[in-house]
Amino acid sequence: MNFVLLRKFIREQFMRNSYTLDDSPNTFKDFEDYDVELSPNVNRSYTLTIYYKGKKLGYSTEHNDYEEGNHYARMIIDKHRVKAMHTDG
């Protein structure tokens, strides 16, 4: 009897996982409450501005290319999330 229940449970878990519509990985851009603006400039650099819940998170920064700005945004958001997890409220 226990084998039947275990088999039913495992089958249910496999079926549940197969119903995922979007199986692409989550990135830092998927976090709610964060808005990343990475805009090109006339001098071929990029300006990065990050907002958290509508408020600007730090200063806008300038980066040499899109990849550099994107990496910096990920680092800032990761650092902010860790800090928020370790503070009360």
Please identify which residue in the block is written with the tokens 């039913």: 8
| pLDDT exceeds cutoff 60 at 16 | no
Task: Tell me what pLDDT residue 30 has.
Answer: 65
Task: Tell me what pLDDT residue 22 has.
Answer: 60
The average pLDDT across 23-39 equals 75
The CA distance from 24 to 30, in Å, is 11
| pLDDT exceeds cutoff 60 at 1 | no
DSSP 8-state assignment for residue 58: S
The CA distance from 60 to 69, in Å, is 11
Task: Tell me what pLDDT residue 33 has.
Answer: 84
Q: Which CATH number fits domain 23-85: 3.30.160, 3.30.70, 2.60.40, 1.25.40?
A: 3.30.160
Cβ atoms 64, 47 nearer than 8 A: no
| pLDDT exceeds cutoff 70 at 23 | no
Mean per-residue pLDDT over the chain, rounded:
80
Task: Tell me what pLDDT residue 63 has.
Answer: 95
| pLDDT exceeds cutoff 70 at 46 | yes
